[in-house]
Structure 1
Amino acid sequence: MDYTLGRDELGRCFAEFSMGQEAFGRWLAEELGENATLLNQVLDAVGGLQARRLREFRLEGREFCLELDREEARVRANSLDDDTLAFDFEDLDFYDDELEAGCGLDDFRDVLLAWRELIAG
């Protein structure tokens, strides 16, 4: 998984992920932000999953939901579950890579550790 983490000219944290993984960048910046307590909660859950003390973990956010199991991490925009936004266009494919993504749990842990480094310093 390719990504770039950094701070913009105003000092705000940002995360840019490769095509197909963009939703992770939005989740990091919009849901996790610089909340170290929440970050540690998610890292603890990852550790619990890896140690087989947990089977799954779910974190509902304002815009995105994070779902973890022992193999994978997934983020999904809450708007994808909103039936009022249903479209009836037969021949159109919607670009939703910024709304949903998944990766291996080890890769996700690496991203979280890099994010922790960014917000700490």
Structure 2
Amino acid sequence: MEYQFIRDPITGFKVKISDEQVLIARWLNEELDKSEVADLLARCKTMTKGQAAWVRLGSEIRFTLNTEEALFEAHALFQEGSDISQYADDALALDDHGLVAGCGFEDFVDLLTAWQQFITGR
């Protein structure tokens, strides 16, 4: 996974990630408080195979973590209030680009470790 960390004097710390994983960057930038990074890394270190997935519901993104992967899903995927079948004649389809992203567990831990080092200056 390729990413770039940015220190902006106005908006603070930001991460940029490829388009197919943009939701991960959104989660780090907007959903995960900087003070929670160390706790999340500690949780990652104590996870064991077969353990139930850990789910964290954010304001816009659901984060699911297990020892195999980290999965990020926008809440928009779970909207049931809109019946899109009424648009079937228009040949419209729900585009999930940018609404789901994932990465392997080890890649996620590496990203989170690098993010922690960047935001703490270590």
Q: TM-score normalised by the shorter chain: which range applies?
A: 0.7 to 0.9
1:61-90 per-residue CA deviation (whole Å, 9 max, x = no partner) reads 111111011110011112221212453444
Q: Counterparts of 1:1-121 in structure 2 under 5 Å?
A: 1-34=1-34, 36=35, 38-49=36-47, 51-52=48-49, 54-88=51-85, 89-90=87-88, 91-121=91-121
Q: RMSD over aligned Cα, in angstroms?
A: 2.1
Runs of at least 5 residues in structure 1 that lack an aligned partner in the other structure: none
Identical residues among aligned pairs (%): 31
Give SS of 1:84's match. Answer: coil
Point out the more displaced range, 79-88 or 54-63: 79-88
More displaced stretch, 18-27 vs 51-60:
51-60
More deviation, 93-102/38-47: 93-102
Where has structure 1 moved over 4 Å in runs of 4 or more? none
Q: Secondary structure at the match of 2:19?
A: coil
Q: Tell me if the contact between 1:55 and 1:70 (Cα under 8 Å) persists in the aligned partners.
A: no
TM-score, normalised via structure 1 length: 0.82
- For residues 39 and 109 of structure 2, the distance between their equivalents in structure 1, rounded to whole angstroms, comes to 12
Measure, in 1, the Cα distance between the counterparts of 2:50 and 2:41. 14
Letter in 2 for 1:74: L
**Does the 8 Å contact 1:71/1:104 carry over to 2?**
yes
Shift of residue 42, structure 1, vs aligned partner: 1.5
* Bigger-Rg structure (1/2): 2
